[in-house]
Amino acid sequence: MPPGVALSGDIVEAVAAGEEEEIERVVAAVRPLGGPLAVRSSAVDEDGADASFAGQHLTLLNVPSWEHITAALSEIWWSANSDSAITYRQRVGLFTRPSVGVVVQALLDPDSAGVMFTQNPVTGADERVIEASWGLGEAVVAGLVIQTTTGSPSSGEVLEAHAGPEEDRGSHAAAGRHGRGADCA
């Protein structure tokens, strides 16, 4: 696990509001991580049996350094407070104002990354499903590639595996401006 810092919803809100004292504390905590960074949202009530906020709250990958942390935290706070996120919250019966915490980590440069489900999200079967792609895994979240999908039951036996094309490989260093994803890498 890469080194990182967890920030509460109150801290993220204070930074988004421009509170200098809180910004200075966050910068001091994040500066040792260097860059590039993964800045990951994590909201109360974000995912559960009745709601899934996938795609509503930003996760920012490839944030160049601590010097960009205030803007990244503000973007994430605003994503949780956007019209679409608030409308979704109300539609699923969540009427409290969102509190979005953030985990800031040194960004890895993986060969591949993705998401693991502990229950098949399509069939409901008791099997592990891993959807991954080359690089940071952003292409899986965005639906841009035919990802590697591996299913295995609780026993660990691999049922099937499909590898995506090698030309989809890439590194975060080549990506330029920070990417957007959700729960990947």
Token readout for 17 is 């509001």
Residue 165's alpha-carbon distances to 95, 102, 133, 145, 146, in angstroms, are: 44, 33, 9, 9, 8
Question: Which pTM value belongs to this model?
Answer: 0.71
Q: How sure is the predictor about 180, in pLDDT bands with cuts at 50, 70 and 90?
A: very low
103-143: pLDDT as tens digits? 999 998 888 887 777 777 778 888 887 878 778 777 776 66
The tens digit of pLDDT for each residue in 59-112 reads 888 999 999 999 999 999 888 777 777 777 777 777 677 788 899 999 988 888
pLDDT tops 70 at residue 153: no
